[in-house]
Structure 1
Amino acid sequence: MEQSTTSLTGESDILEHIADRYKKSRSPHHRQLYAAAAYTQCMIKSKSLPVTPLNYFVNIIDALYDSSYSHTLSNSTFNADAMSGMSSFLTFVLTMVPEKSISMSKAAEAVEIVVKCLEVEFVSLRVLRFMECLRVLLEICDLGDWDIVKLSFQTFIKYAVDNKNEKVRKCAEHCVLKVFKCFQNSIIKESATKLVLDTFRNYILAVEKADGSKDDEGSKCEHLKALHMLDLLKRFIPFLTKPEDMQEVILELQKCMTAKFSTLYVLDVMEEILALIESESELTFVKTVKISDKWKSDYSILIQSITGLLICEATAARASNILKEMFSRVLFSEVELNAESEQSNLVRCLCDSLLEVLRTYPNEHSLSVISALFLHLGLDSFIYMDRIFMKTVGFMSDASTCDVKHFEQCIGSAVMVMGPDKIHTLYPLSFDANEQTCSNTWLLPIYKEYVIYSHVRFFIRTIVPLSESFRKACKRGKKMAVKRKQMQSLSRTCWELLPSFCRYPHDLEESFGSLAEILIPNIKENASMLESIAIALQCLVKQNMSLSLSFPGSSGVIDMGIEKENAERNIKVMASWSEALLKAFTNVFFQVSPEKRSFLKETIGCLANIAEFPTSKAIFISSLERVKPDVSDQKNANIGLIHELASAIVADVGMDPIDFIYCCIGDCLKEDDEEAYANLYILLESFEFMSSRFEQLVDLLRDLKSPVDIISFRWRFLCLKTLLFHSFERTCDGENKYGVWVLNEIIVTLKDDKEDRREVAHDILLDTSSIMQSKPETYYKFITMMMGYLFGFSPCITSGAILALSIMLSNDSKICELKPDLVPEILELLDREEDIQVAEAVLWFLKMLVLSLEVAELKMVLCDILNGLQSWSFVSDLPEILLLERGDFRNVFEICTTSLEEGKETSRSPQHDFKANVNEIFENIVQKCGSASVESLVPEKYRLGFRICLESAPSSPEEGKANEALRALITSMFVSSQEEGFCCRQQLGT
């Protein structure tokens, strides 16, 4: 937890900071945070103390003390909320308190209180924040005082082991380790270590006892705690510096091996201990090797000895790791191989030793060392390791199924660095047409997996003729079904190698033309090769585009010598063949199955990306001609295919999309295609939408019913948002009838019965408002259009428009300046309208207005707001409202209290809705503008009630109870209104 750089001075304090920061949040957690801050500020002011971060800290600690020790609060739910808010606020305050301003004694006192809070049952919801606060406070304390440290350290260990929540355990483990690192005193370190080991010993003892009991549940619980303790111990091992501590841990672990739970955790701890013991000696070994003359004769003896350990299963893994580490750090780190150098002799010695190991006992560890040596030697491995390679190949036929994988990986490493060209000289791929036999075809799957940085030329000259031979053999062997099937499989396998040979080939510029001449006929005629060809071309385009777009000088030579300039030349060569390839793929696009069409789309997109713009445009337009209006079934099928094709290349076409959208997308929309609206939105966002057929498209959407599923519904509204923007751009003067329809759709949806639909409309309106703010003229027209719904429409539409304006107001309070008549017109509805939902919407608008405006702006409309609220003809028969107008607030409290005691659901009645909303608006106004400013505007006959409300504290328990009842009523009304869909997006405060 870092100290905040925010400086709070003058009138700005933490409460204001929190209010400004979270004023738009609807999170209950932020409300609790604000409530805790407000409560703490009241405590500070009641003591006549300055409102400073340090005083906030002192008082929040006092409040935590009261919450953890006092039992006067009967409602545990309230306790949990309060504790949650205070934990968050303490975390916030600790970032604001200046460094070194909290004394060690006060920090120690706070540590004790926070530990006590962690013992409260319902605080588990915020235990992570409390633990983080505890760690920060502990670091402030005197870390040389074990009495202070011990309590916190024990708490961290307890939560790291006993808690069922993994996040809590990980946080506690982090705190244990971080706090331990802060200890400077060796005595404290020893005490902390002893505490950890004693705790570990106790848990192991508890497991032993549980195993001897008949309580299975208790035994499982103890086992689980022991596993958590082992997990903590594993991370604590690096801090054990004394050999006796290590010995003690190992002895206890031996007991665990006999217990009835998984030994995986035990082995993890053992490995950590071994790593700690061996790390220093291994580092010393490597360092010694580096300083000494590593090409001395005795060094080869050392390597032979380590290599010999690969034969023994018990030492093979460790010896393998040491050898591979030596390859990286010692043998090949500085000196290049030279045929006459000592290093060359050493490599030969190493290869001889590995060859002997292969003859004696090949295993996965020795094969992993051979693989690593292949990769380190690179092309030189063909000189030094040819006998090893041939010996490894010799095991392929005799190896069991489980061992074949390791041999293939080893041979694959050789293929990667030598290349198929070199391997072909040792083990050539061949086919005897007369005998119908083939040799070394076992290499084909290895080539497919491991070939990289090779040559396309090898594929053209060796693999393609081999595949053709297999294909011809299939025709000659029609009477031999098994043989024919084998030949077909081999022919197909050969073509499946194409993507592998297209992984960063070195000769693409020279060989791509020859490759394309082979590919194009096979795209048209051979469906079995289509996937391999498509994936290969994707690889070539993506890899070279990525290299060509790299920053100059960022990777001088990229990936085995392929330079950026080479990648750019490769792109030009492929672009020259892109038209022919695109035509071939688009022709088969309408013929292949849906499964194959998915990878064809991506390939077409890649080719369109490098093709000339007119080329892509002509190919796409020609594909539109495949729609046949006279055949209904064929038309529907082709529309879907063209739709898929367009999604791949539409970004590169640059044509007017209206014809395509109207004739193709229109049918998909009418058929309730789930993807139609999503694709329509993508197309609308991809073009300058200024076509003469804009009106037809809007009419088409207007005639369609809204989709049922919410995903399509959201895509539909995104389309409407785009159309709304274009409607304003197209309409300079006069009526924007299409924009009015879109806005009406949004307003109606804001009043929809389904919450998810209301949320979609809310988000779209908010996004539209935000974007339009950058265009003041359009924004003004939009607000004016919205205000047109305030009069002359049904109550549902009117209230929806007011709600929409409230949402816009929450996003931008400047709309009141942009439209000065907005507030007066909405207030006028209180006198003119008699519908409850309109009144509710007006009150919510006023709430949002009060919360959104700055004080100076609020004072300018304060008189209008108060005048609008003081007399409602349509609620004059409600007794509680009349009492409010007479200022008889005590009777209101009695009515509220009586209603609550009798179990009446007053929070649901419209009368109390209005009263609660008015009270809330009134309180927010007073809080913002001050009582003096408000009192000056209150008529004389209401001032008595105004003063009673503001200045009179409860003089009796009954009044206090009534006051609390009224506040509870106001709060419940806010929650009720949220459930009805009127979501206030401002922070309400306390």
Structure 2
Amino acid sequence: MAAAEAGQQKRAEENDELTIKDGDTDICQQLMDRYAKSSAAQHGHLVATAAAMRSILVAESLPSTPPAYFAAAISSADSTVNSPATDPVAVSALLTFLSIVVPLVPSGEISTEKAREAVTVLVSLIDRDEEKLGVASLRGGVKCIGTLLIGFCNLDDWESLDLGFASLLKFAVDKRPKVRRCAQECLEKILGSLQSSTVIKEASNTVYASFKEYKPVLAELSSSRIDEGSKVDLSLKTQNAEAVYVLNVLGVAIPFISSKLRSRAFSELCNLMASQFSLLTRQILKAMEVFFANSRDEISVPEIESIITSLTGYLSSHDKNPSDTVVQATILLRSALEKLHLVDSKLCLKKLPLVFGDLAGLLTSNDDTASQALDVLKDLINRHVDKDIVEGCLPFEGEENVADGNKIGATKSVCAVFESILDSCDAIPNERILDVTAILIDKLGELSYVLMRNIVLKLASLMTSATGDACSLKHLQHCIGSAVVAMGPEKILELLPISICADNRSCTNSWLIPILKRYIVGASLGYYIEHIVPLSKSILQTSRKAHRKKLQACSHELMELLPAFCNYPVDVAQNFGSLAKLLVKFINKYPFMNEAITLSLQRLVNQNKSKLRPKINPGEAKTCPGEDNTSELESENRYSKKTSTKNIKALASCSAELLQSLVDMFTGLGTEVSSDFKVNFLHIFCNFKLYN
């Protein structure tokens, strides 16, 4: 029986969020209606207290309003404080009743002087019976103090706030979680409401003094490593637990306290951030998170620099630290760089290589950590790597440029980070390393030929000795493909030339041809005519002499790069005439090129015609055969209307002989032709006739 009653009491205490309607209905009557059938002793005491307060109001002919109930309850509390002996049960019920009434009192209905006196009474009452009170009642008393301070006391007079603020600060490190959280929430609201510089200074000094009191304990705890998953409440003595909780208070207060003390406190907080996980780590990270989420714009450089130093130090030991804290540190590091970029962009550049190095080291961690690191790295590359600015800095080389904040120096160092990672790989790196490398290449564009050539050479080395699975190989090919897009085929083939190996009469770097076929865009028709075709013919001649079918296949594959070079080429107006003459020879001499020729011509027509025709709806499917898979947005940016007009004129003016050769070829093939070939041919024929 006793156990059952104790269970009821506990459940009643846990259900301490009492909602009372603020209207015409008497508060006492609402409580009676709500708890009439409850057998919990706590509810019975609460209803009895409410009835006693109503009796006082009736005896004095006062209305049953929240202000009147508040005055009666505070008077009763004051009498209790002054009595030699108190009943903890009665005090608990009185505090709970006050926690219900005070939020219902309209603004201005309690004078600042009466509110100050009420806070004094409540602090005395709680301090006297603190250890005898239940969690719900104690939490209700703390909530009352906070509500009175915020809503009714003079926020411009520190003497009106001093006692209550100190009490909230005390309970903000209480061992009981509900009490502790309530006090911290009240402190945050009060600090966020302060306007007077004098009061802010006093409140700041009070918070900082509380932090300083626990500094020796905090210093000891920061150097004590604990195992992941340890519970703070179970592994700490009372004083140590309070020291940990004071960091939560500091985290709440930091955005609002005076700039001088904030800088000092934050510096000391960052110094407590050890490179390995401690009992303080999560509290410190939370404080940093709150700081960034709520801080005003005037964050100082030393504050941000301290955060970056602490976070990078922690990430450098990521393999020894809990993954959730590593993820949180990664997110905070991004926020820190964003803040630093706003106040000191040169220093931000100086920090980039260090940050990139630590984040890149996370790409081989578990999935959650690595995924978060990848997202942050992508974001940092997009925000801080700017090829236009870097190009302006190209004459300046050397590591000293990093210290000076020059973009080229920082970018070179970032590239060196990924070069180092790839150099340490004996096999194909994981997908995330390749993805972020590809993004960096893409961001640097043509400049990647200067800054990332060693990375491309390493990728090629991994490709030639590839031992990974098909998925890994696909990601490696995509990364190299990004280099093809960024640098263009001319630069890529300078770095990775396709040639005949004299030793075994094989074709070096032939693995690159399928990648070129897929990723070439915006290349030069002239380069295809002057370099690719002669190279193909040279390899073909060697294959005939050496009777090597693999060389012949390589030659054909090179020549069949024609459609790739016709994917938004940059020199249609200048070189299509020469290409048309070459294609006439191809039609007559190389039958294997027939489909490649029709696809290439169709692509040239479609890509230029699309710029001149009315725009289709976003959801409308492309119906023209032979269209490439270049995104609509990219195609919009490739050609201007003026360029497309010139290109169409060039296609039309040089098409007569080519069109006749196509007709002869088509009629000569008879039934030995695919349906796609027929469709492409007919489309080309109609378009060329249209423009002639």
| Structure with more relative contact order (C-alpha pairs < 8 Å, separation 6 or more) | 1
Shorter chain as denominator, the TM-score bin is 0.3 to 0.5
Q: TM-score, normalised by structure 2?
A: 0.46
Q: TM-score, normalised by structure 1?
A: 0.34
